[in-house]
């Protein structure tokens, strides 16, 4: 398995960085290391969560990468968990001035879009990301309508919602009134307010 080089590439030309991700305990990352080849430094995630916040190796790569660095990943699905995630990550890395290569697909992408294939690839990713987002929102709407029809819909409060609710309660609006406005139960609102700081309902 390749290890970090003791003599990194000349910083003037950037380093070659690798990223490896395995998603199950019995999955061997060795194949990915062989695919990406030699790298100055490699970042790895094992059993990564669904959110980027849970992918420590990826976050370290993003923080470490500098303009001129060349990032190698075994395949598209090893970097992004879905199209939206992949597009966002490629945009973040190329935005830092890095080049990203997906070895299995033989695709190299950089921010300058120096080839028509690069531009086509990024346009495709962007379009697919928008499509996936629209599809998810549509499914959410359908689920909400079904839950409402069955009388089991319970709206979830975002962090911004909780802040707004707290402000209204502090202004003297009753918890019951705020709960009705946000289509949640009073208990749900109480729990949300307690979660954002100590709160004791009056009376």
Active site residues: 23
Q: How many CB atoms lie within 10 A of CB 33?
A: 19
Q: Which residues of 49-81 are buried (b: 16+ CB within 10 A; e: fewer)?
A: eeebeebebbeebbeebeebbbbbbbebebbbb
SS3 63: helix
DSSP state of 169: H
SS3 44: strand
Q: Based on C-alpha coordinates, what's the Rg of the chain?
A: 23
Q: Tell me how far apart the alpha carbons of residues 169 and 19 are, in angstroms, rounded to a whole number.
A: 48
Q: Tell me how far apart the alpha carbons of residues 75 and 45 are, in angstroms, rounded to a whole number.
A: 14
Whether the CA torsion 149, 152, 155, 156 is positive or negative: it is negative
């Amino acid at each position: 398995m390749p290890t970090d080089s003791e003599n990194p590439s000349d910083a003037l030309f950037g380093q070659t960085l690798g990223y490896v991700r395995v998603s199950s305990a019995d999955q061997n990352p060795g194949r990915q290391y062989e695919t990406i080849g030699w790298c100055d430094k490699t970042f790895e995630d094992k059993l990564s969560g669904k959110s980027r916040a849970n992918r420590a190796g990826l976050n370290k790569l993003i923080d470490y990468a500098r303009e001129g660095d060349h990032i190698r990943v075994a395949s598209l699905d090893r970097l992004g968990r879905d199209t939206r995630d992949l597009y966002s990550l490629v945009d973040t890395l190329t935005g830092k001035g890095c080049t990203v290569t997906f070895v299995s697909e033989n695709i190299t992408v950089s921010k300058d879009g120096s080839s028509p294939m690069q531009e086509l690839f990024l346009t495709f990713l962007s379009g697919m990301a928008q499509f996936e987002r629209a599809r998810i929102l549509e499914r959410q709407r359908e689920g909400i309508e079904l839950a409402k029809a069955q009388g089991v819909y319970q709206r979830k409060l975002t962090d911004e919602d909780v802040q707004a609710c707290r402000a209204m309660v502090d202004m003297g609006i009753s918890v019951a009134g705020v709960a009705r406005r946000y289509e949640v139960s009073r208990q749900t609102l109480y729990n949300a307010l307690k979660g954002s700081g100590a709160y004791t309902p009056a009376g």
